[in-house]
Amino acid sequence: MTSRTTRHPVGARRKLSLAAAVAVGIASTLTFGVASATIHTRDAAEPTVPGTCQSIPAQLAKPANELFSSTQESSPPDTARIQAALNSCAGTGKAVELTVSGGNTAFLSAPLTITNGEVLLVDTGVTLYASRNPADYQVAGQPKCGTLGASDGSTLGTATGCTPFLAVRGDNAGIMGTQSSSGAQGLIDGRGDQDMLGTTKTWWALAESAHSKTTKQQENPKLITVFGASKATMYHISLTNSPMFNVLLDGGDGFTAWGVRIDNPDNARNTDGFDPDSATNVLITDSSINTGDDGIAVKADAGGPAANITVSNTSFWGIHGLSVGSQTEGGIQNVTFTGNYIHGGTDIHGNKASSNNGVRVKSDSSFGGTVTGVSFTDTCETGVEHLILLDPQYLTGNGSSVPNFADITINGLRSVNSTHGSSTLEGYDAAHPLGLTLENVQLDSTKVVAQYANIKMYDSNIAPTGTGVSVTNVTGSGSVPSCSSFPSWPGL
Instruction: Report residue 8 CA to chain centroid gap.
Output: 19
In this structure, are residues 13 and 481 in contact, taking their beta carbons and an 8 Å threshold?
yes
The 10 Å Cβ neighbour count of residue 253 is: 20
121 CB-near residues (< 8 Å, 6+ apart): 49, 52, 95, 96, 97, 98, 176, 177, 178, 186
Q: What is the 3-state secondary structure (H, E, C) of the chain?
A: CCCCCCCCCCCCCHHHHHHHHHHCCCEECCCCCCCCCCEEHHHCCCCCCCCEEEEEECCECCCCCCCCCHHHHHCCCCHHHHHHHHHHHCCCCEEEEEECECCECEEEECCEEECCCEEEEECCCCEEEECCCHHHHECCCCCCCCCEEECCCCCCCCCCCECCCEEECCCCCEEEECECCCCCEEEEECCCCCECCCCCCEHHHHHHHCCCCCCEEECCCCCEEEECCCCEEEECEEEECCCCCCEEEECCEEEEEECCEEECCCCCCCCCCEEEECCEEEEEECCEEECCCCCEEEECCCCCCEEEEEEECCEEECCCCEEECCCCCCCEEEEEEECCEEECCECCCCCECCCCEEEEEECCCCCCCEEEEEEEEEEEEECCCEEEEEECCCCCCCCCCCCEEEEEEEEEEEEECCCCCEEEEECCECCECEEEEEEEEECCCCCEEEECEEEEEEEECCCCCCCCEEEEECCCCCCCCCCCCCCCCCCC
Catalytic residue set: 293, 320
351 CB-near residues (< 8 Å, 6+ apart): 265, 266, 267, 318
Cα–Cα distance between 477 and 18 in angstroms, integer? 19
Cα–Cα distance between 193 and 142 in angstroms, integer? 24
